[in-house]
Amino acid sequence: MTLASGAGGGVHSVELGVVIFFFLIVTLGGFIAVRWKRATSMKSLDEWGLGGRGFGTWVTWFLLGGDLYTAYTFVAVPAAMFATGAVSGFFAVPYTIVVYPLIFIFMPRLWSVSQRRGYVTPADFVRGRYDSRLLALAVALTGIVATMPYIALQLVGIQAVLDTMGIGGTGNAFVRDLPLIVAFAVLAAYTYTSGLRAPALIAFVKDGLIYLVIVVAVVWIGVKIGYGGVFDAAQAKMAKTKGATFIPASSTYWAYGTLAFGSALALFMYPHSVTGVLSSRSRDVIRRNAAILPTYSLMLGLLALLGFAAIAEKTTVIGQDGKPNSQLVVPHLFQQIFPAWFAGVAFAAIAIGALVPAAIMSIAAANLFTRNIYREFLVSDASPEHEARVAKITSLVVKFGALLFVLGMDRQNAINLQLLGGVWILQTIVAIVAGLYTRWLHRWALLVGWAAAIVYGTTVAYHQASATTKHFGSSLAYFPFTHTKVYIAVTGLLLNLVIAIVGTVVLRLVNAPAGTDATESDDYYAEQPSAAVTREAATEIAGG
């Protein structure tokens, strides 16, 4: 059998069996989800794309946890720790800590105004607040373009697991990629029928498995190697590796800090985070979740340390194709330390961990396309039912686009584009977050600031070389006129802000038309409207 050849020496059938078992459970759950939480019909974006806007504290916790902490994170963060240490890997911990106070502060306002005005996407809000189709289009396009490579990277996570189980590498290209194609086709099918309810339900399985695996791994490391030994091994390796850091030194303080804060600000601008937040039932659900979601950050921190544990355990990262690939470090470590059946559970956790965010991201991108491109520029009188139909089809297109991307292009391209995605998405924060508090900034100034920062960030990122690639080698670059490296997205954001403020002053002096604000100050405090009223309104819209 061609599948059995390769450096790993054959397919690991026990592991594969366990993974397939969990995949079947999740598939069943994905299709059943359509009946969950009294969905009467899937014929509106509120139902299909936001799960009826009715998720409570626990569902939101699982959904956002499954959404923000993706399979790629689980694979890439330990991989970065394994290869180059703290600055490229461990910053994910402060990043996912500081994001919650920020969500606590900003997101209830976005939730309230969206609830009151029926907004489904962040671009909807920008459209209403600034009365600018162009600015809304900019926000929507940024969201879609930043999300696509992120979906593709989820597939890279699945590939790492498949490769470890002995699938992939050599042989017929179609046979090699078949498992990935099947997994994605099934995912696409139940996302199409069940909408956001599918990943919300599957997230329970995913997170349960992930927590179980992490607890076992953490105990195992403590008993078998001891954490002192783990850190000693890591320190020794980082001291020998060029460009690696065990603990940031004065040259990398700013890099570490700006990566953490820049990524945190970018995270909740991603369409899939906004979708997760808007699907919750009330402002209190969001606030409570800001307090309980750090559980996942604890888990992520422990996972990051697995990269160091792999150094102590001398884990090898040679893939089926015979080339070293640090993305394989966590699956290889699991295979090395766990019995086959439990390694299978761990692999299932990673694979399902890829499906949940991929589903939510494709839904979020579909919502953006439907509301802010299709309805705005193509068919302005689309009914809710029409919108839902367009979004469902878009979610399929988005997923297959991501699949083609991963199968057809170099994996490095997906990673580069995801790096750029972070730089791009952060530039929408000025219009969105400032807009939640003040209408002072002028829509045209915001548009120019956004464009300048996108051009700046893209150009600078393009010129970063690393040992393995000539372009997009790093998300860090020298801050202009200094010798301090900072996160490119943050420099772009500063440029963006300065242009937005100066531009607003100028445009106000010349009395440029500022448009009409469709929101009222009351909207930003609105609590949950009574359930009866919402349902009435929904039937009204659906019926009319």
Partner 1 sequence: MSVSDPRDTARRPTRQPLPRSTVALAGLLLVIPLVALAIVPVYARSNPHLWGFPFFYWYQFVWVFVTAAFTYGAYLVVRRARRDSGGR
Query: Which residues of this chain interact with partner 1, rule CB under 8 A?
Result: 86, 90, 93-94, 97-98, 100-102, 104-105, 226-231, 246-250, 253-254, 256-257, 260-261, 284, 287-288, 290-292, 294-295, 297-298, 301, 305, 520, 522, 525-527, 529-530, 533
C-beta closer to partner 1: residue 302 or 448: 302
C-beta closer to partner 1: residue 53 or 443: 53
Query: What is d(CA 405, CA 196) in angstroms, rounded to the nearest whole number?
Result: 24
C-beta closer to partner 1: residue 5 or 534: 534
From the CB of 534, what's the least distance to partner 1, in Å?
9
β-bridge partners, 318: 324
C-beta closer to partner 1: residue 239 or 404: 239
C-beta closer to partner 1: residue 97 or 434: 97
464: number of Cβ within 10 Å: 20
Chain centroid to Cα 368, Å, comes to: 15
The gap between the terminal CA atoms of the chain, to the nearest Å, is 59
Q: Token pair for residue 337?
A: 């330390």
Q: Are 329 and 311 in contact (CB under 8 A)?
A: no
C-beta closer to partner 1: residue 264 or 345: 264
Nearest C-alpha neighbor of 107 from the set 524, 494, 534: 524
> Which are the contacts of 529, defined by CB distance < 8 A and separation ≥ 6?
115, 116
Helix (H) or strand (E) holding 478: strand 476-478
From the CB of 246, what's the least distance to partner 1, in Å?
8
From the CB of 165, what's the least distance to partner 1, in Å?
31
Query: What is d(CA 204, CA 474) in angstroms, rounded to the nearest whole number?
Result: 35
| Start-end of H helices in 245-380 | 253-267, 271-278, 283-292, 294-312, 329-337, 340-369
Q: How is residue 373 annotated by DSSP?
A: I
CA dist list (Å): 248 to 93, 94, 254: 14, 13, 9
From the CB of 463, what's the least distance to partner 1, in Å?
26
Query: What is d(CA 479, CA 491) in angstroms, rounded to the nearest whole number?
Result: 7
> Residue 195, by phi and psi: left (phi above 0), alpha (psi -120 to 50) or beta?
left
From the CB of 309, what's the least distance to partner 1, in Å?
12
From the CB of 298, what's the least distance to partner 1, in Å?
5
From the CB of 304, what's the least distance to partner 1, in Å?
9
β-bridge partners, 324: 318
C-beta closer to partner 1: residue 56 or 171: 56
Query: What is d(CA 475, CA 466) in angstroms, rounded to the nearest whole number?
Result: 11
Q: Are 278 and 53 in contact (CB under 8 A)?
A: yes
396: number of Cβ within 10 Å: 16
C-beta closer to partner 1: residue 228 or 543: 228
From the CB of 467, what's the least distance to partner 1, in Å?
24
Amino acid at residue number 78: P
> Which are the contacts of 148, defined by CB distance < 8 A and separation ≥ 6?
365, 398, 401, 402, 405, 417, 421
From the CB of 241, what's the least distance to partner 1, in Å?
17
From the CB of 291, what's the least distance to partner 1, in Å?
4
C-beta closer to partner 1: residue 30 or 54: 54
C-beta closer to partner 1: residue 294 or 401: 294
From the CB of 18, what's the least distance to partner 1, in Å?
30
C-beta closer to partner 1: residue 296 or 424: 296
